[in-house]
Chain A
C-alpha cells in the first residue's frame, strides 16, 4: 500500500497547487455566486435574508430577460450555422492542395488573432443602419454595387438584429472551424480514399460516404466550441452596439444588473447562463473522457 502511494503520491503533489487554485477560483466561486443568487442583495449593502429561488422566479417573469434569451438563441443559431458552413466550405476548397493554399489559409484564419474589441471598432461602422443616400458601411457597398435590395438595418432590426450581430462573429471564427476540418481531412488515412476510388466511387460519393462520416467527431468539437463561445458572447456586443436593450444577451444583462448594484439578480442571471452552457458542455466532456479511457 505504502509503495503504491509512493508511486503516485508525488504526481498528486505536483498537481496540488493547481488543484487548489481551480477548486477556489472555479468551484468555490461558483458556489459563492449561487449563494449570492439566493439572497435579497439588491443594493451595494450586504444581503439581509435568503429568499430561496425568488430571484430565479423573477427572471422567468422578466420580459427583458426572456428577450435576452431569445436574442441569444438567434445569435447562436446563426453564428454556429454560419461558421460551420463557411469553415467546412473553406476546408473543402483548400483540402486538395491548391496553389497558394498557405496564403489563403493564413488569411482566412487571421481574424482569430484579433480581439472582438478591436474588430468591433470597424464592424460598428460596417453594420451601420443608414440606407439610401446617407448609407455607410456595407449598406453603402451594396448601394455602389447596385444591390440596394440587400441594404438592411443590420443589428438595429427589432426582430432579426441578432442575426446581423452574428456576422462579425462568423467573420472572426470561420477560419478556426476551417483549421479544425483541415486537420480532420489530413488525419484521414490515404488508403481510405484509394480504396474508395478503386471501388469506383465518384468524387461526390467519396466525400459523402467516406470522408464526411470520418469527420463527425470534428464537427461535434466545432459545434461545442463555437456554441459555448456564442452563449458567452459579451465582448463583441459591447464593442459593436454597446450595452443596449436591442442587442442584449444574458452576459450583457448581467453586467448591466451589476452596474445598478443588483448583486442577487446579476448572480441569478450568471447561474442561469452557467447552467445553459453546462447542459451543452458537460455531456461532451463526459463523452470525451469515456472515449479516451477506452483507447
Chain B
C-alpha cells in the first residue's frame, strides 16, 4: 500500500482564494477534486461504447438508426436479442468446443515446459525458451499460407479440429512463460534439488511436488488462453468459415452484411462477449495475474 493515505476525510473548505495562499489542506482538497473529476471523465470514455451497445440492442429495428444512436429505446424489445441468438448460437457452441480443449492442452504443456525452463534446465534451455517466446510475437500472417497446407496434410477437418490444434500450438509460448514465472517464485529450488539428490526422477518430482502446487498457475493460464482463443479472429478467418467457424466469424458476418440490422449486431456483440466478460468479472484478480505474467516481467 502507498504511504500517503489520501482517503482521510479532510475538513472541507472548498474556497481556495488564490493558489499562493492555499494551505496544505486546501491544496489537498483541490488535488482530490481534480483527481476524481478526471477519474469520472475517463470512466465515461470507457463506458460510452457499452451504453450505445446496450440501448441499441433493446430497440426495434426501425428505431436502431445512426442518428438516434444516443436516444433511449421508445419501445423496449428483446427482438434483436432473439435474432442475434438465432444467428450466433451454433457458432457460440463451436467457440466453446475450440476454446476449452485448446486452453486445457496448452496449459498442461505450458506447465511441463515452465517447470523444466525454471527448475530442471538443460544446456541451452534458455535459448530454447527465447525461441519459444519469439513464436508468440510473430505476426501469424507469416505462417498462415503454409499452415493451411499443413493442417490439411495432418488430416484435420477445416473449422473446429483445425482451430483446436492451431491454438494449442501457438498457445504453448505464452503458457510456458506464465508457468515459468509462476514456478520460479512459488517452487523453492531446494525442494527440487532435494528430490534430485534423493534420486526422485523428474516425473515423480513434477507429479508429487510441483503439480499439487500448480492450481493458481493453471487458473491464470486457463483464463488467459480461453480469453485469447475465444476472441481470436485472425486464425478463424484464415482456417474456417461461417458454417464451421467460431462466434467471431459469425458476428463479423452478422454485423458486416449489406443490410445490417444494427440492433441485432449490437445484441450479437454483447452475446459474443458474455463468456469472457463473465470470466473477467468473476475471476478478475486471476485475469490481471495473467496480464502481468504475459508481459515477460514476472
**Chain A residues in contact with chain B, CB under 8 A?**
7-12, 14-15, 17-19, 21-22, 24-27, 29-30, 32-33, 36, 86, 89-90, 93-99, 104, 106-126, 128, 130, 134-137, 140-141, 144, 171, 175-176, 179-180, 183, 190, 193-194, 197, 217-218, 221-222, 225, 228, 231-232, 234-235, 238-239, 242, 250-251, 254-255, 258, 263, 266-267, 269-271, 273-274, 277-278, 281-282, 285-286, 288-289, 292-293
| With known contacts A14-B202, A110-B280, A126-B49, A32–B146 Cβ distance under 8 A | yes
Min CB gap B120→A, angstroms:
4
Are A15's CB and B113's CB within 8 A? Answer: yes
> Does B121 interact with chain A (Cβ within 8 Å)?
yes
Contact with A along B241-275 (1 / 0, CB 8 A): 00000001001100110000010011011101100
Chain B residues near A106 (CB-CB < 8 A): 281, 284
Chain B residues near A235 (CB-CB < 8 A): 233-234, 248
- The answer, among A93, A125, A282, for a CB contact under 8 Å with B39, is A93
Closest residue of chain A to B295, judged by CB? A221
Are B46's CB and A270's CB within 8 A? Answer: no
Selecting from B15-23, B64-72, B73-81, the interface stretch reads B64-72
- Secondary structure class of chain A's binding surface, majority of residues: helix
Closest residue of chain A to B184, judged by CB? A292
Are A98's CB and B170's CB within 8 A? Answer: no
Min CB gap B115→A, angstroms:
8
> Does B213 interact with chain A (Cβ within 8 Å)?
no
Show 19 A/B contacts (Cβ-Cβ < 8 Å), sorted by A. A8-B120, A18-B113, A25-B150, A33-B146, A94-B39, A97-B7, A104-B39, A106-B284, A111-B46, A114-B276, A128-B66, A137-B66, A180-B291, A221-B297, A270-B145, A277-B139, A285-B133, A289-B129, A293-B126
| With known contacts A140-B70, A235-B234, A293-B126, A29–B121 Cβ distance under 8 A | no
Contact with A along B286-298 (1 / 0, CB 8 A): 0110011001110
Min CB gap B112→A, angstroms:
5
| Nearest 3 A/B pairs, CB to CB | A136-B66, A115-B231, A32-B146
Are B2's CB and A95's CB within 8 A? Answer: yes
Closest residue of chain A to B5, judged by CB? A97
- Secondary structure class of chain B's binding surface, majority of residues: helix
Are A171's CB and B128's CB within 8 A? Answer: no
Chain B residues near A228 (CB-CB < 8 A): 137
Are B266's CB and A121's CB within 8 A? Answer: yes
Are A26's CB and B287's CB within 8 A? Answer: no
15 extra A-B contacts, CB within 8 A, seeds A8-B123, A171-B45, A258-B144 = A14-B120, A15-B113, A25-B166, A95-B2, A98-B36, A115-B232, A117-B269, A121-B255, A121-B269, A136-B65, A235-B233, A238-B237, A251-B141, A267-B145, A270-B145
Chain B residues near A107 (CB-CB < 8 A): 43, 46-47
| With known contacts A22-B172, A125-B69, A10–B2 Cβ distance under 8 A | no
Are A17's CB and B49's CB within 8 A? Answer: no
- The answer, among A96, A114, A266, for a CB contact under 8 Å with B6, is A96
Please report which residues of chain B, range 28-85, place their CB below 8 angstroms from some CB of chain A when the two chains form the complex.
35-36, 38-39, 42-43, 45-49, 52-53, 56, 65-67, 69-70
| With known contacts A9-B122, A18-B109, A97-B6, A122–B172 Cβ distance under 8 A | no
Closest residue of chain B to A30, judged by CB? B142
Are A11's CB and B251's CB within 8 A? Answer: no
- The answer, among A116, A171, A193, A293, for a CB contact under 8 Å with B233, is A116
